[in-house]
Chains A and B, each alone.
Chain A
């Protein structure tokens, strides 16, 4: 399959026809989220069984009907209501940092949330294979309501280079930025310093004036940050 076709499906056109790539959530994370949700739901159902057992006479036919209606209402209501209230997140989705959006990238309406959860019992059986074959990982309910599930933005501090050595393209920038962002978390200090030295070498070659007066021996990472005037949020 060509890369172009994939791009077409995974991106939407925003305002002024600007292409936006959506971070589509796959089968795995969605299944994890739904497992958490069913744990919560199991607690609710147990509570309902207890209430039903205490309050209603079990022998009556209508009491059994009430039990079944209650189970359905809880199952449907839990997902639909929590998605409506939190604009696209159940408890499981919040824990796994997922969110429901429309195919256009917007916030779905209450009607869409109700519709996508209506066929949930069918999706228990057919949802997983359907999500696996669809590039947008949609289950029946998503198709019916025109929704997608995406990963939420990670609220981590971003780190931007404020001074670019001549001749550096986006590739070098991306490498150095992601190295600096993660350098503090690396356990292996030998490897970290090796990598830092390689970046410093490149800096010495491309722009020695940036390193003038900096102590590159004792703390190479700090030196790189200073030389490139790294800004952090």
Chain B
């Protein structure tokens, strides 16, 4: 069809649809909506035709805009759209989490190694502990006081809990985003945290306060370490894509790995919030028995792992 004829024949439909789009903002009856849907279909087909035959012309541009606007006006959120969050946490996140398990395992192995190392050197050479923790914390320990006590009591729980959440999240995010440097940063974060935990444990053993430390971290420590390891595993995934892109373009491999890693990380965000609350409300409390804290820590960890590895049958049928 000739362009002029196309414009002459079809323009009334476009104009009608444009008027309907304006009217739709104020709400319309069922019959009007049906008519609009019909026009929308025609506009879509005209758009396809003009994009193929008359690309770049005013008619093609206008039809594209009408088609995009019409789609927005007539197409609602997906049926599962309202359950988008639910679907994310029950399907998308567990799937990505399980695919990434081997990398998380590597992160765990590195962490345990570093923790053992830290424990060994502080037990053998207590002087090194001061280098890790800073003189203030150590002098506090000498007085029989865990520095964790003073950390949380100076600021109101609301403020310190948000500060702790952001701190944890930023550790995890740097472990994740640093994956772009061929996985160097996640490895560093894992080793550093393992070393710190190991040496703190060694140091508190020296001052026979390991019990207090374990009681303090039992409520949140397991989950905290798990989350950091998961984030580091995600970062390692990006690092692996940088180093071993395979037969695909490196940029593509990295982008895919980053998206996968991002899914895992996003799924962890609510847990960081839970973690921060526990760390502020339950961990420092002296009135709660250590067994209760341990129970909280274990149940949180089990809950996290169960939800993260949620077996889902609909997973295989969908996409």
Contacts and interface: CB of A to CB of B under 8 A. Distances in A.
Interface of A: 1, 12, 14-16, 18-23, 61, 64-65, 68, 88, 99, 101-102, 104-112, 115, 119, 122, 126, 133, 140, 143-146, 150, 153-154, 158-164, 170-171, 173-174, 177-178, 181, 229, 231, 233
A22 B82 CA distance: 23
A161 B3 contact: yes
Contact of A106 (B47, B72, B158): B72
Interface string B44-56: 1101100101111
A112 B262 CA distance: 18
B81 A174 contact: no
Contact of B58 (A15, A154, A159): A159
A14 B55 contact: no
Contacts of A65: 156, 158
Contact of A105 (B7, B62, B68, B258): B68
Given A109-B76, A158-B59, 11 more contacts: A105-B72, A106-B72, A111-B77, A112-B81, A119-B269, A145-B85, A146-B81, A158-B61, A158-B62, A164-B3, A170-B55
A23 B255 contact: no
B11 A15 contact: no
A153 B269 CA distance: 36
Q: Is the interface of B mostly helix, strand, loop or mixed?
A: helix
B195 to A, nearest CB: 27
Interface of B: 2-4, 7-8, 11, 15, 40-41, 44-45, 47-48, 51, 53-62, 64-69, 71-78, 81-85, 88, 156, 158-159, 162, 169, 173, 177, 249, 251, 255, 258, 262, 266, 269
Interface centre among A20, A23, A145 (most CB of B within 10 A): A20
A189 B121 CA distance: 83
A122 B177 CA distance: 14
B159 to A, nearest CB: 7
A16 B54 contact: no
Contact of A143 (B41, B169, B262): B262
Nearest to B64: A21
Contact of B173 (A15, A110, A126, A158): A126
Nearest to B67: A20
Q: Is the interface of A mostly helix, strand, loop or mixed?
A: mixed
Contacts of B65: 23, 153-154
B71 A174 contact: no
The 4 closest A-B pairs by CB, nearest first: A106-B75, A109-B77, A174-B56, A105-B71
Contacts of B82: 109-112
A150 B266 CA distance: 24
Contacts of A14: 44, 67, 71
Contact of A174 (B57, B74, B83): B57
B8 A162 contact: yes
A181 B72 contact: no
B4 A20 contact: no
A158 B47 CA distance: 15
Nearest to A150: B68
A171 B54 CA distance: 8
Given A16-B41, A64-B156, A126-B173, A140 B266 contact: yes
12 contacts: A18-B45, A20-B67, A20-B71, A105-B71, A106-B72, A122-B169, A133-B255, A140-B266, A143-B266, A150-B68, A173-B58, A174-B56
Nearest to B55: A170
A162 B258 CA distance: 50
Given A14-B67, A22-B68, A231 B44 contact: no
A69 to B, nearest CB: 8
Nearest to A233: B15
A171 B44 contact: no
A158 B4 contact: no
Given A146-B84, A171-B56, A174-B58, A68 B159 contact: yes
B266 A231 contact: no
A67 to B, nearest CB: 9
A108 B56 contact: no
Contacts of A153: 65-66, 68-69
Contact of A160 (B58, B77, B156): B58
Contact of B84 (A111, A140, A150, A159): A111
Nearest to A99: B72
Contacts of A61: 156
B48 A18 contact: yes
A164 to B, nearest CB: 5
Interface centre among B66, B77, B258 (most CB of A within 10 A): B77
A112 to B, nearest CB: 6
A115 B258 CA distance: 21
